[in-house]
Amino acid sequence: MTTLIKENIMKNLLTLIKENFTSFSKDAVAQIEKGNKAAGTRARKVSLTIEKALKEFRKKSIEISHK
């Protein structure tokens, strides 16, 4: 895989992380401030997606830095 492709993958992952974090933040605030249990469930679910995307970003970042 070329560096350019890896960089594009990283950009896509960064976009995914930003979008999911926005969703996470909104739902986490709703749970904390309003006691919305469903929002808490959504926040926990999206946190797993963020975690996976961060791990993948880290993996690609390391691959690029070693070239």
Which tens digits make up the pLDDT trace of 9-64?
A: 899 999 999 999 999 999 999 999 999 999 999 999 999 999 999 999 999 889 88
Q: Residue 56 and residue 43: Cα distance in Å, rounded?
A: 20
- Of 4 and 47, the structure prediction assigns the larger pLDDT to 47
Answer whether 31's CB lies under 8 Å from 37's CB. Answer: yes
The answer, yes or no, to whether residue 8 has pLDDT greater than 80, is yes
How many domains does the chain fold into? Answer: 1
**pLDDT for res 50:** 97
* Alpha-helix runs per DSSP H in the chain: 3-34, 37-65
Q: What is the pTM of this model?
A: 0.84
58: containing domain: 3-65
